[in-house]
């Protein structure tokens, strides 16, 4: 009995020791792990990021016009299957399609599915070459020896929507990363100056920040993006758009940095450092910044989906990215026509991926925010 008690106490002590000596990062991670929704979101997010990064390997074709299937325009998805009327096979297969134009079809192109001709799906096939991390590869995860496979169908020029979707995830993540990074640096500098010096500098900067915040971002953004010269290449556009997103996104974060600094700079440990003769830069870098790194990370995760969504909206109306750069907005450009709405609904498949991507970010951001709140446990 007593032995048991001692044993329990020591375990308890260990747990306490672990708790009190844990670093901020460990504490956040422990709290984060407890939230099922956030953990699930995190897994989905990791999966999506990986699939974005390895998009060329996972997809069978080049997402640009180079990889188009010129015999299967606006084609419906071809779903691999194992069985049909002619029996089953261990290896999944799709049917061959044929496109013809003759007097029987009234001289229009008509695509017919030939259910007798099977095309077997192979894995690790040699496809068109691509670059990954600066190296050249040509092995694709799956594909056909002969003919084309289109899991999500094709668009009006015969580009594979499956390949484009994965490429688009990659693009959106890149745009988001650049945008978030730029707005982060701006917010840190502007909010930092405002919060650290206080006084009239603070009042003035806050006035400007508030003025910037009242301007509706997307209309302004459209106004700026509309004036990109047509002669710019797709890559230049891509870079410019990401930078613009960053320049418009900073005020919210800057405000938060400022508020935090204003409360922190009057704390005793800052005074102590100043009394020891530390310079402003040293105090900011060594004492103030570490005190709210976790909040900043959380804010960055939360603001990420907004960047992605702004880019999508902008590209959608034709002022953002353009072909051959793929993004969800670019892919959705022509879907409002009645033709697409009535006949080619597979154009909307990428939307699902993006809702999942944004949801994953929101879940993770929310979970991180709760986990980073040091009083989260004691509140309830």
Partner 1 sequence: MVQFFRFTMVRAALAFFTLCLVSFIVFSLMELVPGDCAERYLAFKNSQGAQISIADIEAERSRLGLDRPYLERWTSWIFNAFQGEFGDSCILRLDIGQLLGQKVWLSVGICLGSLLVAYAIAIPVGIIAATSRNPYLNNGLRLVSYLGLALPNFLLALIIMLFSTVVFGDSLTGLFSPEYRDAPWNWDKIKDFLGHVWLPVFILGWSATAFAIQTVRALMSDEISKLYVTAASARGVSGRRLLMRYPARHALSPIINSLGFDLNRIFNELPIVALILTLTEAGSLLIEALARSNDQQLAGAIIFFLTGTIVAINFITDIVLALIDPRIRRSILGS
Say if residues 297 and 361 touch (Cβ distance below 8 Å).
no
Tokens standing for residue 199: 């006084």
Smaller CB distance to partner 1: residue 142 or 247? 247
Q: Is 214 in the site for partner 1 (CB under 8 A)?
A: yes
Q: What is the CA radius of gyration of the chain?
A: 27
Between the alpha carbon of residue 145 and those of residues 89, 118, 126, 375, 378, the distances in Å are: 17, 12, 9, 59, 61
Cα 95 to Cα 100: distance, rounded to the nearest angstrom: 16
Number of residues that bind partner 1 (CB under 8 A): 42
Q: Is 201 in the site for partner 1 (CB under 8 A)?
A: no
Closest CB 177 distance from partner 1, rounded Å: 19
Q: Is 72 in the site for partner 1 (CB under 8 A)?
A: no
Residue in 215, 259, 266, 323 binding partner 1, rule: CB under 8 A: 215
Cα 133 to Cα 54: distance, rounded to the nearest angstrom: 10
Site string for partner 1, 288-327 (x = CB under 8 A): -----------------x---x--xx--xxxx--------
Residue in 146, 342, 375, 378 binding partner 1, rule: CB under 8 A: 342
Binding positions for partner 1, 352-371, rule CB under 8 A: 354-355, 358-359, 362-363
Q: Is 211 in the site for partner 1 (CB under 8 A)?
A: yes
Contacts of 107 (CB under 8 A, 6+ apart): 101
Can you tell me which residue has the tokens 């000596």? 21
DSSP letters for 132-156: ETTEEEEEEEEE-SSS---TT-B-T
Cα 205 to Cα 282: distance, rounded to the nearest angstrom: 23
Smaller CB distance to partner 1: residue 170 or 312? 312
Smaller CB distance to partner 1: residue 60 or 251? 251
Binding positions for partner 1, 216-235, rule CB under 8 A: 216-220, 222-224, 226-227, 229
Q: Is 213 in the site for partner 1 (CB under 8 A)?
A: yes
Cα 345 to Cα 296: distance, rounded to the nearest angstrom: 40
Q: Which residues here bind partner 1, judged by CB under 8 A?
A: 207-208, 210-220, 222-224, 226-227, 229, 305, 309, 312-313, 316-319, 332, 335-336, 338, 341-342, 345, 348, 351, 354-355, 358-359, 362-363
């Amino acid at each position: 009995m007593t032995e048991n008690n001692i044993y329990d106490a020591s375990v308890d002590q260990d747990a306490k020791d672990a708790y009190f000596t844990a670093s901020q990062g460990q504490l956040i991670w422990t709290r984060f792990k407890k939230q099922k929704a956030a953990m699930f979101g995190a897994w989905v997010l990791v999966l999506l990021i990986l699939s974005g990064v390895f998009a060329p390997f996972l997809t069978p074709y080049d997402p640009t016009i180079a990889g188009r299937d010129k015999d299967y325009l606006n084609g419906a998805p071809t779903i691999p299957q194992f069985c049909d009327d002619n029996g089953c096979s261990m290896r999944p297969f799709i049917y061959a399609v044929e496109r013809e134009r003759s007097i029987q079809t009234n001289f229009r192109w008509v695509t017919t599915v030939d259910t007798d001709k099977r095309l077997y799906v192979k894995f690790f096939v040699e496809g068109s070459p691509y670059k990954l991390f600066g190296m050249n590869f040509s092995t694709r995860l799956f594909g056909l020896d002969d003919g084309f496979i289109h899991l999500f169908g094709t668009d009006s020029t015969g580009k594979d929507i499956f390949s484009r979707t994965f490429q688009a995830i990659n693009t959106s993540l890149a745009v988001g990363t650049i945008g978030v990074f730029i707005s982060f640096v701006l917010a840190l500098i502007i909010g930092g100056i405002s919060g650290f010096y206080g006084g009239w500098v603070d009042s003035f900067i806050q006035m400007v920040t508030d003025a910037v915040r009242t301007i509706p971002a997307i209309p302004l953004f459209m106004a700026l993006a509309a004036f990109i010269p047509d002669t710019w290449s797709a890559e230049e556009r891509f870079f410019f758009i990401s930078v613009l997103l960053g320049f418009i996104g900073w005020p919210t974060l800057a405000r938060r940095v400022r508020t935090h600094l204003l409360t922190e700079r009057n704390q005793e440990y800052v005074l102590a450092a100043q009394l020891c003769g530390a310079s402003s830069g040293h105090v900011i870098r060594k004492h103030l910044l570490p005190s709210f790194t976790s909040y900043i990370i959380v804010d960055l995760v939360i603001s990420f989906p907004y960047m992605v969504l702004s880019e999508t909206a902008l590209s959608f109306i034709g002022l953002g990215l353009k072909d051959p750069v793929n993004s969800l907005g670019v892919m959705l450009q022509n879907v409002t026509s009645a033709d697409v709405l009535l006949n080619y609904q597979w154009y909307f498949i990428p939307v699902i991926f993006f809702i999942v991507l944004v949801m994953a970010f929101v879940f993770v951001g929310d979970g991180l925010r709760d986990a980073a709140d040091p009083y989260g446990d004691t509140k309830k």
